[in-house]
Amino acid sequence: MIRVAIVGCGRMGENHCRMVKELQGVAIVGAVDPNLDRANALAAAYAVEQATAGLAELLERTRVDAVHILTPPPTHAPLACEALQAGCHVLVEKPMALTVIEAKRMLDAATQHHRLLTVGHNHLFEPVVREAQTRVVEGRLGRLVGLDVFHGCLPGSPPWVADLPSGPWINDMSHPLYLSELFLGEPLAIRAVGYPSADGNKVREVRAVAQHAQGVSTLTLSTDAAPFRHKITLLGTLRTLEVDLIHEILVETRPFSGHRWLRKGRAVLDVSAQLLYGAGRNACQVLTGRGRGWEGLRRLIQAFYAAIQAGDPSPVPATQGLRIVTLLEEISRQLLTIPDGVPDRVGQSL
């Protein structure tokens, strides 16, 4: 039996509890949160044995094999290192850390103590993203030459998000970065601008352009745009594929032959049919109880525990988390060196 501690008992803590409870051979033995009332509430809701205000206290009381770190990013490194040094496997929310130094410290601890350190890059496991990856590999889009990623932010974010260094953008910018890496490989260079500019205000909107060996990606993180949406557009030499992660629908657009009005009509019908099919499939999943939400996170958690049980490598290795933190640090540097919206240094090779 793998004994689990949930550290951070907010919204994500509830999601993780619900999904861990679905697993065989895994038991949640502790809920940890500086707000002890919140830890007690989560423990009561999910029949967790113990609730404490600190991880060290829980580790002293009972054996823990795996720890989920779902706290604000500034706490990720110290908590992860504490858990790894105690012999626990760790699943840490994105971003893995806020600085490269912290991320390397976490990676070193995992290596030294021979424990898994998995980063919460959950969109890699979303069924629509996996399907998009399959279509790219099969060559349906032709040669992939670029992609656009738009990532909004859920309304009602906790207060600590606004207090993050550089601005709230850094809490979710990991998603566009690792998705661009999934399809186009590691960026060779990245350039970013933000709004408001670095005049003392926190940056809320970020636009970045990354150069890859085989194409270019444009990445947008918006904390204010409405409605909330996550979308990837994959640009190929034969077709374009739009991936809607919120509505879980893929739409593939392709060129048609014939008169321009005929081409336009066929394109509209083709897109409409794909939208109707996707919406109908989703409705059936909800009605039959298979559409549970957060499917990418569920599959990541399943993969994490499967790796622990089989002695396999991490499903999202800490080295990937370190690469993303390196990019976040570079973007942050660029945002801070653009006073009043006037470019100074717009980028450098990584």
Residue 184's pLDDT band, with cuts at 50, 70 and 90, is very high
C-alpha 29/C-alpha 135 separation (Å) is 41
Query: The domain containing residue 11 runs over which residues?
Result: 2-121+296-315
Q: Is residue 281 part of a domain?
A: no
Q: Is residue 205 part of a domain?
A: no
State yes or no: pLDDT of 343 exceeds 50: no
What length is written for the chain? 350
Q: Look at residue 347 in the predicted model and tell me its pLDDT.
A: 45
Provide mean pLDDT across the span 291-299: 88
Q: Is residue 56 part of a domain?
A: yes
Q: Is residue 346 part of a domain?
A: no
State yes or no: pLDDT of 337 exceeds 80: no
Q: Is residue 69 part of a domain?
A: yes
Q: Look at residue 278 in the predicted model and tell me its pLDDT.
A: 84
Strands 230-236 and 189-195: unpaired
Q: Is residue 12 part of a domain?
A: yes
pLDDT digits (tens, 9 = 90+) for 200-238: 568 889 999 999 998 999 999 999 888 889 999 999 999
C-alpha 15/C-alpha 8 separation (Å) is 11
Q: Look at residue 266 in the predicted model and tell me its pLDDT.
A: 80
Provide mean pLDDT across the span 316-329: 98
User: Residue 34 maps to which CATH number?
Assistant: 3.40.50.720
| Mean pLDDT across the chain | 91
pTM (predicted TM-score): 0.91
With a pLDDT cut of 90, the percent of the chain lying above it is 74
pLDDT digits (tens, 9 = 90+) for 230-282: 999 999 999 999 999 999 999 999 887 777 777 778 888 888 888 888 888 87
pLDDT digits (tens, 9 = 90+) for 258-267: 777 777 788 8
Count how many domains the chain has: 1
Q: Is residue 109 part of a domain?
A: yes
Q: Is residue 15 part of a domain?
A: yes
Strands 240-244 and 249-253: antiparallel
Query: In 3-state terms, what secondary structure has residue 69?
Result: strand
Q: Look at residue 166 in the predicted model and tell me its pLDDT.
A: 83
Q: Look at residue 197 in the predicted model and tell me its pLDDT.
A: 63
DSSP 79-115: HHHHHHHTT-EEEEPSSS-SSHHHHHHHHHHHHHHT-
